[in-house]
C-alpha cells in the first residue's frame, strides 16, 4: 500500500535540513586542514569555483531527480529509466558504508564534549590522550553506541517532527557558535600569522593536487553522490524554488567551512606552530584541547566548540540514516520503526570492528591497509566519484538535462552552465579524481 510521503514544511525547513546534512565533520576538521596544506587562499578560490559550478549542478540535479520522482535513490532512477536502476543501487550503497564510520568519529566528539563539560579539559590537553582514548577497547564503543542510538531515535520520530525540527534550531545555533569561537581564537596572541597563512593565496603551491583535494572535499562536504540530496529532494514541496534553495545550502556549507578554517588554523599557529597543520584528525582532537586548556575561559570555549561539532555531526548522520531508511521504505514498504531498528542494528555491528580498528585491532590489515583507512578510501575515492560520474552521464545523455532544468526552473544562462557542467566539465574532472586516486592507491603516483 502506498504510504503518504512526508514533506518538509517549506523552503526554510528544507534548506536547514539539507544544510544540516552538508555541514559536518568534513567542514570542521577536514576543510581547514586541506586549505592549509594546499595553498591557503589558492585552495579557497579553487574550492569556491568548484562549488559554484560542479557542486551546484550536481546538487540541482540530485534534488530535482528526487522531487520529480518523489522517490529516494533506487526508486528515483527506476522511475526515470528502468535500465538505469543500478545507478540508484550504487548511490544508495554509499551511506551504508559511511554511516558506521561517521558514527564512530561522532562518538569521539561526544566523548570530548562530555569531558569538556565536566571540566576535564586539562586531561584532553595531554598530548597522548587522544591515542590512549581511541586505543581503549570499551569506552569508544560506548560513545559510538550512544551517538548511533541518538541518531536512530531522532530519525525514528519522522521527517517533519524529528529531522526538520532538530535541524531548524541546530543549524543556526551551530553557525553562531562557530563564529563566536572563531572571533575568540583570532584575538589570541600569535593567531594573526595563522589568519594570514590561511587567507593569503600562495601561487607557488598551486598544482593539480589542489584541484583534486578541493574536488574530493566538495563531494563529501556537499553530501553529493550518495543519494542524500535525492531523498531530501523527494520531501521538497513543488512550490519551493529549488535553485534558490541550492544557493542557500551552498552558502551555509561553504560559510561554515570557511569559518572553521578561521577557527582551527590560527588556533594551531597560536598553540603549536605550522608543523602541526599536518596532523589530520588529530588537529581537532589534540591541538584544540591544548589551546582551550591554556586560554582564559577555555573551559567554556572548549565545551561550546565540541557541542557545535557534535551538532554538526549529528545533523549529518541523521541525513545519512534518513536516506537509508527512506530507500528501504520505498523499496519494500516496511514500517519506519522496523527499518530504523534494523538499520540501527546493522550499523552497530559494522561499527564495532571499525571502532576497534583504531584501538586493539589496529594491527589488523586488509589488502595490506589499515582497515578503517581502506574503508575510507573505498567510499570517498572510488564509490563516490563513480556514483557521481554515472549520475552526470545519466542526466547528461540518457535522461537529457531539459526535464531537470524545468524542474529546477533554471534561467537561460544557468541552464547553459548546468548542461555544460553535467555533460562535459564534471565527468572529465571526476574521471581525473578517480584515475589519480587509483594510481596513488597502487603506488604508481605519489600524491
CB of 29 to ligand PHE, least distance (A): 9
26 sits near ligand PHE (criterion: CB under 6 A): yes
Q: What is the largest CA-CA distance in the chain?
A: 64
Which residue stretch of 20-28, 70-78, 292-300, 393-401 sits at the interface with ligand PHE (rule: CB under 6 A)? Answer: 20-28
Question: E strand or H helix at 89, and its extent?
Answer: helix 85-117
CA of 127: how far to CAs of 71, 122, 274, 360, in Å?
48, 10, 17, 20
Q: Which is nearer to ligand PHE, 121 or 261 (CB)?
A: 261
Nearer to ligand PHE, 98 or 311 (CB): 98
Number of residues that bind ligand PHE (CB under 6 A): 16
229, 231, 234, 237 alpha-carbon torsion, rounded to 10°: -60
Nearest 10 degrees: Cα torsion 123, 125, 127, 131? 70
Nearer to ligand PHE, 7 or 217 (CB): 217
d(Cα 401, Cα 417) in Å, to the nearest integer?
11
Write the DSSP assignment of 148-210 as a string of letters: HHHHHHHHHT-IIIIIIHHHHHHHHHHHHHHHHHHHHHHTSTTHHHHHHHHHSB-GGG--HHH
The least distance separating ligand PHE from the CB of residue 185, rounded to whole angstroms, comes to 21
CA distance 409 to 416: 12
**Mutual angle of helices 85-117 and 73-80, in 10-degree steps:** 160
Nearer to ligand PHE, 102 or 133 (CB): 102
The minimum distance between CB 215 and ligand PHE, in angstroms, equals: 14
Q: Which is nearer to ligand PHE, 18 or 291 (CB)?
A: 18
Complex with ligand PHE: residue 13 or 95, whichever CB lies closer: 95
Q: Are 256 and 175 in contact (CB under 8 A)?
A: yes
SS3 state of residue 46: helix
Q: Minimum CB separation from ligand PHE for residue 217, in Å? A: 9
DSSP assignment of 239-300: TS-HHHHHHHHHHHHHHHHHHHHHHHHHHHHHHT-GGGGGGTHHIIIIIHHHHHHHSTTHHH
Residue among 422, 46, 418 at smallest CA distance from 242: 418
Give 29 or 418: the residue with its C-beta nearer to ligand PHE: 29
Q: Give me the least distance between CB of 444 and ligand PHE, in Å please.
A: 28
8 Å CB contact between 261 and 95: no
Quote the CA–CA distance of 319 and 235 in Å, as a whole number. Answer: 12
Decide if residue 55 touches ligand PHE (CB under 6 A): no
Nearer to ligand PHE among residue 182 and residue 320 (C-beta): 320
248 touches ligand PHE by CB under 6 A: no
Q: Which long-range contacts (CB under 8 A, 24 or more apart) does 207-210 make?
A: 208/432, 208/436, 209/38, 209/447, 210/38, 210/39, 210/42, 210/43, 210/46
Task: List the one residue from 35, 36, 98, 392 that touches ligand PHE (CB under 6 A).
Answer: 98
State the binding string over 310-349 for ligand PHE (x if CB under 6 A, else -): ------x--xx-----------------------------
Among 7, 17, 18, 24, indicate the residue that binds ligand PHE (CB under 6 A). Answer: 24
Q: How far is the CB of 320 from ligand PHE (least distance, A)?
A: 5
Give the per-residue contact string, 197-226, with ligand PHE (x = CB under 6 A; - = no). -----------------------xx-x--x
Residue 54 has which C-alpha cell?
560542479
Q: Which stretch binds ligand PHE (CB under 6 A): 2-10, 22-30, 131-139, 295-303?
A: 22-30
Q: How far is the CB of 442 from ligand PHE (least distance, A)?
A: 26
Among 104, 228, 301, 421, binds ligand PHE (CB under 6 A): 228
Residue nearer to ligand PHE on the CB measure, 24 or 233: 24
* C-beta atoms surrounding 235 within 10 Å: 25
Tell me the C-alpha distance between 274 and 256, whole Å: 22
Looking at the Cβ atoms of 293 and 322, the one nearer to ligand PHE is 322
Question: Smallest distance from the beta carbon of 51 to ligand PHE, in angstroms?
Answer: 13
Min CB(94)–ligand PHE separation in Å:
7
Q: Would you count residue 25 as binding ligand PHE (CB under 6 A)?
A: yes
Minimum distance from residue 298 beta carbon to ligand PHE (Å): 25
Q: Which helix (H) or strand (E) holds 369?
A: strand 369-370
Span from 25-33, 85-93, 348-356, 385-393 in contact with ligand PHE (CB under 6 A): 25-33
Q: Residue 2 has which C-alpha cell? A: 502506498
Footprint on this chain of ligand PHE (rule: CB under 6 A): 21-22, 24-27, 95, 98, 220-221, 223, 226, 228, 316, 319-320
Amino acid at each position: 500500500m502506498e504510504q503518504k510521503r512526508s514533506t518538509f514544511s517549506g523552503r526554510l525547513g528544507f534548506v536547514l535540513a539539507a544544510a544540516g546534512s552538508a555541514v559536518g565533520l568534513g567542514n570542521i576538521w577536514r576543510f581547514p586542514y586541506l586549505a592549509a596544506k594546499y595553498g591557503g587562499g589558492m585552495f579557497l578560490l579553487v574550492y569556491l569555483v568548484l562549488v559554484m559550478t560542479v557542486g551546484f549542478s550536481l546538487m540541482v540535479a540530485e534534488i530535482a531527480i528526487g522531487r520529480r520522482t518523489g522517490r529516494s535513490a533506487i526508486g528515483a532512477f527506476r522511475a526515470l529509466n528502468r535500465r538505469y536502476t543500478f545507478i540508484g543501487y550504487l548511490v544508495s550503497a554509499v551511506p551504508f558504508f559511511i554511516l558506521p564510520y561517521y558514527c564512530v568519529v561522532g562518538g569521539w566528539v561526544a566523548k570530548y564534549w562530555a569531558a569538556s563539560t565536566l571540566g576535564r579539559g586539562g586531561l584532553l590537553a595531554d598530548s597522548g590522550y587522544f591515542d590512549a582514548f581511541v586505543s581503549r577497547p570499551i569506552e569508544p564503543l560506548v560513545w559510538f553506541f550512544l551517538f548511533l542510538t541518538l541518531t536512530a531515535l531522532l530519525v525514528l520520530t519522522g521527517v517533519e517532527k524529528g529531522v526538520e525540527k532538530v535541524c531548524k534550531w541546530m543549524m543556526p545555533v551551530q553557525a553562531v557558535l562557530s563564529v563566536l569561537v572563531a572571533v575568540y581564537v583570532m584575538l589570541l596572541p600569535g593567531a594573526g600569522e595563522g589568519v594570514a597563512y590561511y587567507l593569503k593565496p600562495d601561487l607557488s603551491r598551486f598544482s593539480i593536487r589542489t584541484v583534486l583535494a578541493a574536488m574530493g572535499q566538495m563531494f563529501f562536504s556537499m553530501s553529493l553522490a550518495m543519494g542524500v540530496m535525492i531523498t531530501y529532494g523527494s520531501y521538497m514541496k513543488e512550490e519551493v524554488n529549488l535553485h534558490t534553495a541550492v544557493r542557500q545550502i551552498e552558502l551555509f556549507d561553504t560559510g561554515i567551512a570557511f569559518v572553521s578554517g578561521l577557527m582551527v588554523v590560527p588556533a594551531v599557529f597560536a598553540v603549536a606552530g605550522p608543523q602541526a597543520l599536518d596532523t589530520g584528525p588529530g588537529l581537532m582532537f589534540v591541538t584544540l584541547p591544548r589551546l582551550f586548556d591554556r586560554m582564559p575561559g577555555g573551559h567554556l570555549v572548549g565545551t561550546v566548540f565540541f557541542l557545535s561539532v557534535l551538532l554538526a555531526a549529528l545533523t549529518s548522520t541523521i541525513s545519512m540514516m534518513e536516506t537509508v531508511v527512506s530507500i528501504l521504505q520505498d523499496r519494500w514498504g516496511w514500517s519506519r520503526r522496523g527499518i530504523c531498528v534494523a538499520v540501527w542494528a546493522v550499523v552497530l555491528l559494522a561499527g564495532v570492528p571499525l571502532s576497534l580498528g583504531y584501538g586493539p585491532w589496529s594491527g589488523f590489515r586488509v589488502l595490506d591497509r589499515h582497515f578503517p583507512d581502506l574503508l575510507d578510501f573505498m567510499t570517498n575515492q572510488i564509490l563516490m566519484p563513480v556514483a557521481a560520474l554515472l549520475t552526470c552521464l545519466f542526466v547528461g545523455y540518457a535522461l537529457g538535462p531539459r526535464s531537470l532544468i524545468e524542474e529546477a526552473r533554471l534561467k537561460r544562462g544557468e541552464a547553459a552552465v548546468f548542461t555544460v557542467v553535467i555533460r562535459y566539465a564534471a565527468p572529465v574532472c571526476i574521471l581525473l579524481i578517480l584515475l589519480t586516486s587509483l594510481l596513488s592507491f597502487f603506488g604508481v603516483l605519489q600524491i
